[in-house]
Amino acid sequence: MIYQHIQGAKVPALGYGTWQIEGDTCREGVEHALAIGYRHIDTAQGYENEDQVGTGIKNSGVPRDQIWLTSKLRPDWFDADTARKRTEESLSKLQTDYLDLFLLHWPNDEVPLEETLGVMREFQDAGRIRHIGISNFTPTQMRKANDILRVFTNQVEYHPYLHQRFVRETAKDLGMLVTAYSPIAQGAVLDDPTLNEIGAAHGKSAVQVTLRWLIQQDDVAAIPKAASASHRESNFDIFDFELSDDEMKAVHALEREQRLIESPYSPAWERG
């Protein structure tokens, strides 16, 4: 396993993402992921699977203190009273006394950021949230949040076709982790000639090359989702090879502004 070291914390650079995975498939996926070596699990209130994630963790037998567990607060629950109630619900559903990381899932300009982050600080002061982060925040919004309290990460769509250069530069400046979701561009990397050529040189797939490229970067973690056991195993099989500097540059050269994820809360991204 590769770890990223941020703000005194040690984060497994490869996590198991559970977006769009529900019910028994989610529970079994978490159990299997932990059985084969994953130690970073990512969920969210909006995924409506925190119950299953919690049960999967409990059933796995892996001690809680060996797992990095992340969840996220829905943007329509950002007002203080609702945020407190829903955060308690997340902890209960996940069957845990604390979250390693809790994120504001999307920016919501209708609620003052100070109000929501103030509630998160209450939970942090009580030891129930160890680190506070954000997701889908622009560089300007990252700085605003970090001015209110120490922000641990910005979780954003990041893959070879979406460079997120400005997010990464801002994160480096502020000492934040960048967490990449949709890291294989919803499967688009599978047919990429460059990624397949690099993979052939290592006996790896284009997906494995992409995930290796992400976690080999400084202060970047990736959380690919995988509903099938074979995909979870393949995604985890990326620690026995390393990309050269030239190969890293070749993947970076694929970048363009190909954004795949949109939400009613999507911000206006800085471009260039």
Catalytic residue positions, numbered: 47
- Pair 266, 106: CB distance under 8 Å: yes
In Å, what is the CA distance from 27 to each residue of 21, 87, 216?
9, 21, 29
d(CA 226, CA 262): 21
- Pair 156, 181: CB distance under 8 Å: yes
